Chains A and B, each alone.
Chain A
Amino acid sequence: MIRIENVTKQYRGTARPALNNVSLEVEKGDFVFLVGASGSGKSSLMRLMLREDVPTSGSVHVLGENLVGIPSRRVPFFRRKLGVVFQDFRLLPNKTVAQNVAFSLEVIGKSKGFIQEAVPDVLRLVGLDGKADRLPTELSGGEQQRVALARAIVNKPALLLADEPTGNLDPNTSQEIMALIERINLAGTTVIMATHDRGIVDRLKKRVVELKSGEIVRDEIGGTY
């Protein structure tokens, strides 16, 4: 599913590499927490898996694609196979909930019929029944993150990348979102989630990968923060 080997990422003009000889393997259906202080390299690792960046050295394979050698015109097709959510939701403020989800299907050229069927389904799945015509500004933070999750999974991706999805949410809402992500994982989607939330990591007892100064210092199954 994911194989990262001896990856070093050095940003231009910095002395210390953001990632230093990192290797990581993730199997299909796994749930992995990426933990570590700010600047430890979590986001750099996520960016590599999304092919927003290429490593300075080493190899990155995600969903059967070699992300170091992939030609840039194939990158969009790679990204269609995974879903992403962020701390700041990244919704389009001038589109309704349903339009936000539909937008991601429109831009990859899905048919109108497919969109009309898939959008209500996925909104029901994330618990946003009856809010299809609301604008993002009319929703709470938790609801906005549900829209983002709906958008990420509407295409039935094999992999969900979540970059601090609960970072802007209160503890109760965070739990609701985590329950949703767990459900998505149980349905067979591999989840990689970068987080600072100690409570969530401790409660879920999943695989924990800890980064410190760009190196993996711990990789523990059933671990805590």
Chain B
Amino acid sequence: MKFLFQEMAQGLRRNLSMVVSVVLVTFISLTFVGTASLLQLQIGQMKNYWYDRAQVAVYMCTDVSPSDVCAQGEATEEQKQAVREKLNSPTLATYIDKHYFEDHEQAFGTFQEQFKDNAVAKYVTADQLNETFWINLKDASQSQIITESFSGVSGVEEVRDQRSYLDQIFSILNAASIAAIGVAALMLVSAALLIATTIRLSAFSRRRELGIMRLVGASNFYIQAPFILEGIVAATIGSILAGGAVLSIVQFFVQGYLAERLPFTSFVGLADGLLVVPLLIGAGILLAALASGLAIRRYLRI
């Protein structure tokens, strides 16, 4: 055993620059993998959080609404009353948690609040903004029922499920995490090739010893183990660094920066990070073992 570790340490020293590059490549690629998985976790959390709060809006016609849906202009009091009655009717009431009406003045107030630093706030007047029925559903995924019930009803300009806005955000985040995984996959391939090359070089620089070991009858295990250990040690260092990087991203960027600036969003925490780290280290070791195993089969025939 001691002999094996001596051989491995010697190999690591001899190929120091290659070993450093293996460490760096696994470090960076696994950091990408870790970040991508955290992003997926984050998307899951945000979906849970925001989908529960997503409302369905029934926008009533205004004077400035496009005329093909709102031919007669501003929705009348009777039309609003009809919508209100329909929402309270037994068929729809079973799906609805609560609903409320927002008139021009309230909508204007909310708008001014949301866009207070934006030039557009100056040009918008109260009667340009839709009067709206805001509906919270018991089950947010059943927004289709409301959409179907109110689309085409006279005085209704549009029915809009807020989840459709959220879906856009989530699909952007999703694309980002897929891109990260793509980059990570490419880098993992190059990490595997680097490990294979390192072992090939290492075997070449030790060919004299290897020839003698073969002659005196060293077993395949004795000959190959130092090489495999070399690859695994390098990749393990890389994946531990990646784990550290992922944890610091969670601690200092997500919790320390994002969470302070966006207080109403729940972010991934250290617990999620700690969930990802063992996966990264496992993936690193597996990658190294596979790459060096294959390389040895190619370059170290007994």
Q: Name A's B-contacting residues (CB within 8 A).
A: 50, 72-73, 75-81, 84, 90, 92-93, 103-104, 106-109, 151, 155
Contact: B220 with A73, CB < 8 Å?
yes
Which of B3, B212, B220 is the one whose CB lies under 8 Å from A90? Answer: B212
Neighbouring B residues of A155 by C-beta, 8 Å: 216
Contact: B216 with A151, CB < 8 Å?
yes
Smallest Cβ distance from A155 to chain B, in angstroms? 8
Q: Does B263 contact A (CB under 8 A)?
A: no
Contact: B215 with A80, CB < 8 Å?
no
Q: A72-B302, A107-B222 are in contact. Are A92 and B217 (CB under 8 A)?
A: no
Q: Is the interface of B mostly helix, strand, loop or mixed?
A: helix
Contact: A80 with B217, CB < 8 Å?
yes
Q: Does B219 contact A (CB under 8 A)?
A: yes
Listed A/B pairs (8) with beta-carbon separation below 8 Å? A76-B220, A77-B219, A104-B212, A107-B216, A107-B222, A108-B218, A108-B222, A155-B216
Contact: B217 with A90, CB < 8 Å?
no
Q: Does B211 contact A (CB under 8 A)?
A: yes
Which of A72, A103, A108 is the one whose CB lies under 8 Å from B217? Answer: A108
Number of interface residues of B (CB under 8 A): 16
Smallest Cβ distance from B282 to chain A, in angstroms? 29
Which of A73, A92, A107, A108 is the one whose CB lies under 8 Å from B208? Answer: A92
Which of B215, B218, B219 is the one whose CB lies under 8 Å from A84? Answer: B215
Which of A78, A92, A104 has the largest number of chain B CB atoms within 10 A? A104
CB-nearest residue of chain A relative to B213?
Answer: A107
Neighbouring B residues of A75 by C-beta, 8 Å: 302
Neighbouring B residues of A50 by C-beta, 8 Å: 215
Smallest Cβ distance from A19 to chain B, in angstroms? 21
When A and B form their complex, what is the total count of cross-chain residue pairs whose Cβ atoms lie within 8 Å?
52
Interface flags for B204-244 (1: CB within 8 Å of A; 0: not) read: 00001101111111111011000000000000000000000
Q: How far is the CA of A73 from the CA of B220 in the complex (A)?
A: 7
Neighbouring B residues of A81 by C-beta, 8 Å: 217
CB-nearest residue of chain A relative to B209?
Answer: A92
Neighbouring B residues of A92 by C-beta, 8 Å: 208-209, 212
Neighbouring B residues of A106 by C-beta, 8 Å: 3
Which of A72, A73, A80, A93 is the one whose CB lies under 8 Å from B216? Answer: A80
Contact: B222 with A109, CB < 8 Å?
yes
- Using A104-B216, A108-B217, A108-B219 as known contacts, list a sample of 18 further A-B pairs with CB atoms less than 8 Å apart, ordered by residue number in A: A73-B219, A76-B214, A76-B217, A78-B217, A79-B217, A80-B216, A90-B208, A92-B212, A104-B212, A107-B216, A107-B217, A107-B222, A107-B223, A108-B216, A108-B222, A109-B219, A109-B222, A155-B216
Contact: A107 with B218, CB < 8 Å?
yes
Contact: B219 with A103, CB < 8 Å?
no
CB-nearest residue of chain B relative to A81?
Answer: B217
CB-nearest residue of chain A relative to B301?
Answer: A72
Q: How far is the CA of A97 from the CA of B208 in the complex (A)?
A: 16
Contact: A79 with B216, CB < 8 Å?
yes
Smallest Cβ distance from B300 to chain A, in angstroms? 12
Q: How far is the CA of A137 from the CA of B57 in the complex (A)?
A: 89
Contact: A79 with B214, CB < 8 Å?
yes
Neighbouring B residues of A104 by C-beta, 8 Å: 212, 216
Q: A72-B302, A73-B220, A107-B222 are in contact. Are A90 and B215 (CB under 8 A)?
A: yes
Q: How far is the CA of A108 from the CA of B214 in the complex (A)?
A: 10
CB-nearest residue of chain A relative to B220?
Answer: A73
CB-nearest residue of chain B relative to A78?
Answer: B217
Contact: A103 with B302, CB < 8 Å?
no
Q: How far is the CA of A24 from the CA of B3 in the complex (A)?
A: 40
CB-CB nearest 9 A-B residue pairs? A80-B217, A107-B218, A79-B217, A104-B216, A76-B217, A76-B219, A107-B213, A106-B3, A107-B222
Neighbouring B residues of A109 by C-beta, 8 Å: 219, 222
